Chains A and B, each alone.
Chain A
Amino acid sequence: QSVLTQPPSASGTPGQRVTISCSGSSSNIGANAVDWYQQLPGTAPKLLIYSDNQRPSGVPDRFSGSKSGTSALLAISGLQSEDEADYHCAAWDDSLNGHVAFGGGTKLTVL
């Protein structure tokens, strides 16, 4: 049982906009920044969004993040086939001896 809650799956067609939610509590998302990681099939996770809505260098602006209260949202616009991957949200949790809590991951399928 993950501390942060994500839908197990999401899907969209090429060119579509899709969103993935991440729900937490006042000790994690409500108090700290949210990061998103993209994990392509058979590979290690890669940082996609940090500090709620910042993109690391090299990440396309099709990817965006937002946060409201104890929930966060990852949006992917202009969906492409290469976006098919698992997406994980994460946030520091003040109640967990000071470490990061993850969501269970969302598998995005491009139809």
Chain B
Amino acid sequence: EVQLVESGGGLVQPGGSLRLSCAASGFTFSSYWMHWVRQAPGKGLVWVSCIHSDGTKTKYADSVKGRFTISRDNAKNTLYLQMNSLRVEDTAMYYCTRSSSGTYWLWGQGALVTVSS
């Protein structure tokens, strides 16, 4: 089955760190750009970061630049998002997505990150 499964979400204090993982299966993971998109409670979708299929190129939204790091392990078919210096405003559901020609064809079920003291 073609799917993406996120893990690693949870409750963390402001200033803390968390690492999200996204396990891919059912398709050739190493052929696709992968993205993280987040959705704060009751709000719209916001692009966070993306990484080239071979991991050599990365991009970040200004709001997370310098704090978040996207990476991937194509041998393990897994996408990661290392989140440091977390802020209350980073509280959101984080989705990993597979993109092709700028369209998000496949979404994971999401990982909830709550930043609160």
A13 to chain B, nearest CB (A): 25
Does B115 count as interface, using CB distance less than 8 angstroms? no
What is B's interface to A at a CB cutoff of 8 Å?
Answer: 35, 37, 43-47, 50, 59, 61, 95, 102-105, 107-110
**Residue of B35, B61, B107 with most chain A CB atoms under a 10 A cut-off:** B107
Interface residues on A, range: 20 to 34
Output the nearest chain A residue to B62 by Cβ-Cβ distance: A97
Docked-complex contact A47 and B59, CB < 8 angstroms: no
A31 to chain B, nearest CB (A): 11
A106 to chain B, nearest CB (A): 9
B47 to chain A, nearest CB (A): 5
B81 to chain A, nearest CB (A): 15
Give Cα A51–Cα B46 distance, bound, in whole angstroms: 20
What 0/1 readout, one digit per residue, does chain A (69-109) give for beta carbons within 8 Å of chain B?
00000000000000000001010100001111111110000
